[in-house]
Structure 1
Amino acid sequence: MINREDMLELTRRMTPARTSFTRIAGCYVDADGDFEGSFNINFLKLSPSEKTKNLAIAKTIPFAETNTKLKKYEIQPENQKAGSMWQLLMALRDCELKNDALMDTLYDIIMENIRITTPYAIYVFHDNYDIPSKATDKERLGESEEMFPYLICAICPLVGEYEPGSPTSGFLFPAFTDRSGDLNHINIYGITEKKREELGRLISL
């Protein structure tokens, strides 16, 4: 089960003034499922309005209804081997999305395994959250307890030319459990169970 407070701890920081997002990358796919171009940029180089718009997209995933539209999936040890989806996500997290070849691999896997019949975008965000220590009474101490690097992926229908709408599915990797990174789980979002299960199958690749 996902603790709602863990998700709120992440989303409270998803404002232009407080965000620690480092990078955003993405691609566009046409109605036939064909690649239509990609981008990869330092998040800090976005304009204030672009930051606000993209933070809203990213926030949709962890802010979704906990344990209803956003669910935790375990990644079994046999699915954490070389060449697995888990290994790819770990590599993308570690390189902070700066490896375009790895990004293209992720796009290809999603495009090949997700059935969407209208134009859509795949947006991926990288964040480094410096988790502050908290006392037993939950008062913030301010000292760093752990660095939590993570990815948010949002799959969004296009509502205009290269204009993503609200995400219909996506994920947060690794999961954020008890205020700590959880490499054995992934939080998957979907507006329907079918969309969650569709993404859930990717973690077994």
Structure 2
Amino acid sequence: MSKRELKKEAILLAGMGVMKSKGYNGTSVKDIVDAAGVPKGSFYNYFASKEQFALDAIDSVAEDARAYAKQALGDENQCAVQRLRAFFSSGIDCAAGNDFKVGCFLGNMCQEMADSSDVIRARLDQILNAKTRLIAQVIEQGQAQGSLSADMPALAAAEFLFNAWEGALMRAKAAKSRQPLDAFVLMLERILS
């Protein structure tokens, strides 16, 4: 990575920490540069706008999430049911490890910005659809293996699971409790059995 890319990455990571806790609207450019320890003018050397910063933050989080999802869901040494359980279980561990304060950055951005920025909404929709398709592929593999019911449409089941998961994360954040996530797991087990 060049010096410029390293500096941009440092600003991005510092600013993402602020945006994860305060949201898009609660985060100013000043908050981002203060967190990064750089002058305000430096921000505009790397990002055309706060919206562009948010898009880069979304892409960064999505890339990490995509890499993890491919690793967890793509481990064909485990059956499809085990992969789905492990994928969602690790998400619960992450939420609990953050005391249910953070939720899903992509889900939070979607709730906050889908009506305010069409470009952010479209990027989030594309990323969330890709994640849903990964889950659908695992469901299809489970159906082919006979470990999951073949009579449920894989993509619809993946949509349901992923949307229920995002809702459970939101509720866990509101309740500061794992109870909504435990309810999700209870229903997940019924779907997977």
TM class, shorter-chain normalised? under 0.3
Answer 1 or 2: which has greater strand percent: 1
Which fold has the larger relative contact order, with Cα–Cα distance below 8 Å and residues 6 or more apart in sequence? 1
Larger radius of gyration, structure 1 or 2?
2
